[in-house]
Amino acid sequence: MKMAAVSLLFVLLLQKSEAKVSSIIVFGDSSVDSGNNNYIPTVLKSNFKPYGRDFEGGKATGRFSNGRIATDYISEAFGLKPTIPAYLDPAYTIQDFATGVCFASAGTGNYDNATSKLLSVMPLWKEVEYYKEYQIRLRNYVGNHKANQLLREALYIISIGTNDFLENYYLLPHRRLEFSIEDYQQFLAGIAKQFVTQIYELGARKICLTGLPPMGCLPLERTTNLGKCIHTYNDVAVAFNGKLEGLVQSLNKDLSTMQLVLSAPYAVVYDIIQNPHAYGFEHSAKACCGSGRFEMSYLCDNHNPLTCSDATKYVFWDSFHPTDRTNAIVAQYVFNKFLAVFQ
């Protein structure tokens, strides 16, 4: 009976690999972490209520949302599973990871490893080490030929960068003493180039690099600016996204067998924030959890009496992260506008 089940799964994997996208493989930060931080010694966790209260079964999975995150919705849009499991979650096996796996770590060093040290989370290089381990496990599971095919047909989503600016550059003085903001953007773009090249050399051929959101309009930042967006931060996001666009064009020329796209959700997120009622929201300046101005992670807990009762009315769940409903809207926008080449 077990042999029959394994054979059936192998047939399903063969069928899935014939699709244009065989799986979703995720690198990044809290915007796409589906629970890896639950299993590392860091204070930056969300595996407790009210996080996950609108997730299936009301489970707090470690996603920084009341429900699903954008990569979950993208996976479902490609006809894959509706949620992407965290690689460090022992409840999942290589069978589960064969059609989608997340290596992201909330608060991670993103492009700048110095950022990850602030909260003792996984730096980007560690995410890559786990990916290499995953490759070995996948080859042992389905064989070299099949594994190479699955890895080649997978869509790699890289969602990183915001923490490098907000946690590292603007919050602490070290990088500001070392770099001007323009030089820091160039520094990060250079690391992004190295990272894309590295996973390309490891077999990635379909890659989506995600641009920065309007980070000056996050509730946490608005709290420090009398409730208004910090437009200098938004300007930096736009400028950095422009550098990433140039990087994408350059890498597509240099690595001709790779298909790299820049997903730029800045415009839709900014429009949602500025015109929440047009999208069916009532609140965009403050979040649902707590007072909606500064709470995140352990400051957003089930004992806070101020947390809203209906998160669908809010653009943001906590002071840094979108609600499930916002994630769904942004994911659909990204899927239709930027990921169409992979469909």
3 is a domain residue? no
* C-alpha to C-alpha distance for 262 and 88, rounded to whole angstroms: 27
CA-based nearest residue to 163, from 107, 233, 223: 107
71 is a domain residue? yes
* C-alpha to C-alpha distance for 82 and 318, rounded to whole angstroms: 23
Q: Which residues contact 185 (CB under 8 A, 6 or more apart)?
A: 236, 239, 240, 243
Q: Which one-letter amino acid corresponds to residue 223?
A: T
pTM of the model: 0.91
pLDDT of amino acid 43:
83
Its domain, for residue 42, covers 21-215+231-265
Residue 105 near residue 116, CB atoms below 8 Å? yes
9 is a domain residue? no
Residue 287 near residue 29, CB atoms below 8 Å? no
339 is a domain residue? no
pLDDT of amino acid 327:
98
Q: Give the three-state DSSP class for 320.
A: coil
Query: Per-residue confidence of the chain (343 residues) as pLDDT tens digits?
Result: 333 433 344 444 444 334 489 999 999 999 999 999 999 988 889 999 999 999 999 999 999 999 999 999 999 999 999 999 999 999 999 999 999 999 999 876 445 455 445 555 788 889 999 999 999 999 999 999 999 999 999 999 999 888 888 877 787 767 888 899 999 999 999 989 999 999 999 999 999 999 999 999 999 999 999 999 999 999 999 999 999 999 999 999 999 899 999 999 999 999 999 999 999 999 999 999 999 998 999 899 888 889 999 999 999 999 999 999 999 999 999 999 999 999 8
Structure tokens given for 63: 């996603």
* C-alpha to C-alpha distance for 144 and 9, rounded to whole angstroms: 17
* Residues assigned a catalytic role: 30, 318, 321
Residue 321 near residue 62, CB atoms below 8 Å? no
Q: Which residues contact 109 (CB under 8 A, 6 or more apart)?
A: 115, 116, 117, 121, 122, 123, 124, 163, 164
* C-alpha to C-alpha distance for 98 and 93, rounded to whole angstroms: 9
7 is a domain residue? no
* Burial of 258 (C-beta count, 10 Å sphere; 0-12/13-18/19+): middle
**Matching residue, tokens 């069916």:** 280
Q: What is the CATH number of the domain that holds 167?
A: 3.40.50
322 is a domain residue? no
Residue 263 near residue 339, CB atoms below 8 Å? yes
Residue 318 near residue 308, CB atoms below 8 Å? no
Residue 180 near residue 130, CB atoms below 8 Å? no
Structure tokens given for 62: 């470690």
CA-based nearest residue to 76, from 151, 21, 14: 21
pLDDT of amino acid 12:
43
319 is a domain residue? no
Residue 316 near residue 326, CB atoms below 8 Å? yes
Give the number of domains in the chain.
1
Q: How many residues would you count in the chain? A: 343
* C-alpha to C-alpha distance for 310 and 343, rounded to whole angstroms: 34
* C-alpha to C-alpha distance for 255 and 106, rounded to whole angstroms: 30
16 is a domain residue? no
Bridge partners for 122 per DSSP: none
* C-alpha to C-alpha distance for 265 and 270, rounded to whole angstroms: 8
